[in-house]
Amino acid sequence: MRKIIDSSCNNQIDGSIIEYLKNIRPYGIILFVINVLSILIVLSITILQPLVFQNKDSAIEKLPIKLLGDEIEVNALSELDGYSKDQVYNLRKRYIFRSMFKSDSYNPNEKIFGGIEDGKYWYGTENLICYDGSKSPLLRAEGDSYVSRLINNPSLLIGLDLPYVWNTKEPQKYNVCHNKKILFIPEAISYSKEYNMITAEFKINRNVLSNKRFYMLNGLNARDLGYSYGYVYDTKNVNFKDKNAVDKKVYEFRDYLAVGYSCKIDGGCNNLCPMQNKMMFQFLARPAVINFKLWKEKPKTVFDKPDIYYRMIFTR
């Protein structure tokens, strides 16, 4: 069998391949070309697609820090104390039906909402930031139920929580305790069809910046609506805590509702769980931005096309 030397790369090409190509019929050549083209197309998609969407990611990073697209109504909170599980489910269905995720077949995900128990208290907004442990624990349930900001606003795919509570006996915390902006109820939400992106705007003031506390993102709505995986691909003026945080690698959301006993009320309270260190961060300055990519299936890389973009902006 003779050999042909390719001097340009010093590799040997088997001459039998050339003889084979000479002898095969035209339709065989066509099939051969089709196969080669198929391989090239697959390779181009595999290699170029991440680059294309990486460019789109970069474009979103450069967007002005403001709402884009059509504004979405921010629904008021509800007091859920004493509600049955069915009542909470019906409330959720009503707000889903009124949202951009409207679906007649929607039912709350049992893995997320199944732990709700009938007739329980829920953490309220009035004493959520600070609480004096010497007083009645029922004070913790006063006001609208904090988690209802998520139940009533499905488009708030990623929310923000206070993982810790301040003690009102510390006088320097007075301004913090009375700062309702730390509750992180969105001022506005919008959806841009052009970028396939939801933007949630929050107002923060100096108290949020000066206390140096960590805050925690939650993916309750994202998970319930099928967006189980997220990755923070860009930030401005925030610092994530964990070395394996959501800005370092793709994260699978774990959020769910269940009865907990940290409220100290007899029988416990329906509450958002669990603590997620990989979702905790500090604010460094204003304005601050967190840009998410969200997927329904686990992506192969962080450069994969997301099912939706989600942007959180924190302004004065």
Helix (H, G, I), strand (E, B) or coil at 220: helix
For CA atoms 238, 243, 248, 253, the dihedral sign is negative
Give pLDDT, residue 117.
98
Q: What is the pLDDT of residues 222-237, one digit of tens each?
A: 999 999 999 999 999 9
Helix (H, G, I), strand (E, B) or coil at 102: coil
Q: Which two tokens stand for residue 239?
A: 């610092």
Cβ atoms of 158 and 270 closer than 8 Å: no
Separation between Cα atoms, residue 286 and residue 186, nearest integer Å: 16
Q: Which two tokens stand for residue 280?
A: 């905790």
Q: What is the pLDDT of residues 63-107, one digit of tens each?
A: 888 899 999 999 999 999 999 999 999 999 999 999 999 999 999
Q: For the chain, what percentages of helix, strand and coil (3-state, to nearest 5) are there?
A: 30, 25, 45
Range of weakest confidence among 27-31, 41-45, 218-222, 237-241: 41-45
- What is the biggest distance separating any 2 CA atoms in the chain, rounded to whole angstroms? 95
Q: Which two tokens stand for residue 151?
A: 């139940």
pTM for the predicted model, two decimal places: 0.81
Q: What is the pLDDT of residues 117-143, one digit of tens each?
A: 999 999 998 888 777 777 899 988 999
Residues whose CB is less than 8 angstroms from the CB of residue 45 and which lie 6 or more positions away in sequence, other chains included: none
Give pLDDT, residue 183.
78
Q: How far is CA 305 from each of CA 24, 119, 292, rounded to the nearest angstrom?
A: 42, 43, 12
Q: What is the mean pLDDT of residues 252-270?
A: 95
Q: What is the mean pLDDT of the chain?
A: 85
Separation between Cα atoms, residue 257 and residue 223, nearest integer Å: 12
Q: Which helix (H) or strand (E) holds 191?
A: strand 188-192
Q: Which helix (H) or strand (E) holds 175?
A: helix 174-177
Separation between Cα atoms, residue 206 and residue 286, nearest integer Å: 9
Q: Which two tokens stand for residue 294?
A: 């969200």
Question: Would you say how long the chain is, in residues?
Answer: 316
Q: Which two tokens stand for residue 196?
A: 């396939």
For CA atoms 72, 205, 279, 140, the dihedral sign is negative
